[in-house]
Structure formats: C-alpha cells, structure tokens
C-alpha cells in the first residue's frame, strides 16, 4: 500500500478541521467518502471534531440522518450499515448499482 493511501485519513482529518474552522456557528459541514473503511469514515469525523475543539475551541455536533436513511430504505433499493456509529454508511448493492457511500453532517455550535 502506498504512503499516500496510508496517509489519507490524516489528510481527510485536516480537511475536515479546516472546513469546521471555515463554517460559521450554526453552519454545517457534510463529510462524505466512497469507502467502507471506518478509519476514513467515522474516525475522521471523531478525530476532526476532537482536534477542532482542542486546538481551535470549536464545538461541533453530528446531526442525525435517520430521515434520509428511512426514505432511501423504504424504496427497497438501498441498505444502510447498522454498525455505523457516526453518520450513515450506504452499503453497495447490485439492485441499486450504487455504493458504498458514507456521509456525516456536522454542525458547528460554538
């Protein structure tokens, strides 16, 4: 595996921290990837929020995407991972010919 690929979560974390720094209080950042990797998904969100708070005093909270999940699941074309703790992980399926897609909405509250 290349060092670029191994360093991808750190780059993604820096990008998300910068996005949180750029958005005003009340604004949201949507973080999305096309991978099943928890390291590039949930861990990036957790680490970015922690670093933003520690280094810049930024408070951010994850917003629920359950309405989106329910609407897409009800079509019968999409499935979501029950193991995803932060955000939503749309699983790849042959029926929808789509995925994987991870998405997490984070709102800056302070």
Tokens of 16: 């998300």
With cut-offs at 50, 70 and 90, classify the pLDDT of residue 96: confident
Closest listed residue to residue 31, CA positions, set 12, 6, 50, 47: 12
**What stretch of H or E contains 28?**
strand 28-33
pTM exceeds 0.85 for this model: yes
> Please, what is the average pLDDT of the chain?
95
Tell me if residue 34 is catalytic: yes
Q: What percent of the chain has pLDDT over 70?
A: 99
Stretch 78-85: mean pLDDT: 94
Name the active-site residue from 34, 49, 84, 104. Answer: 34
Stretch 66-94: mean pLDDT: 94
The whole-number pLDDT of residue 4 equals 80
The whole-number pLDDT of residue 39 equals 96
DSSP annotation of 91: E
Question: In DSSP terms, which residues pair with 30 in a beta bridge?
Answer: 105
Checking if the pLDDT of 6 tops 90, the result is no
Helix (H, G, I), strand (E, B) or coil at 95: coil
Q: Are 88 and 102 in contact (CB under 8 A)?
A: yes
Helix (H, G, I), strand (E, B) or coil at 54: helix
Which domains does the chain carry?
A: 3-108 (3.40.50.150)
Stretch 17-30: mean pLDDT: 98
């Amino acid at each position: 595996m290349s060092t670029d690929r191994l360093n991808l979560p750190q780059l993604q974390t820096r990008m998300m921290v910068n996005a949180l720094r750029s958005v005003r209080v009340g604004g949201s950042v949507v973080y999305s990837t096309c991978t099943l990797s928890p390291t590039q998904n949930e861990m990036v969100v957790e680490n970015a929020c922690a670093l933003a708070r520690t280094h810049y005093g930024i408070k951010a909270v994850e917003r629920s995407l359950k309405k989106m999940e329910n609407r897409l699941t009800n079509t019968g074309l999409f499935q979501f991972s029950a193991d995803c703790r932060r955000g939503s992980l749309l699983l790849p399926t042959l029926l929808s010919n789509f995925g994987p897609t991870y998405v997490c909405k984070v709102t800056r509250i302070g």
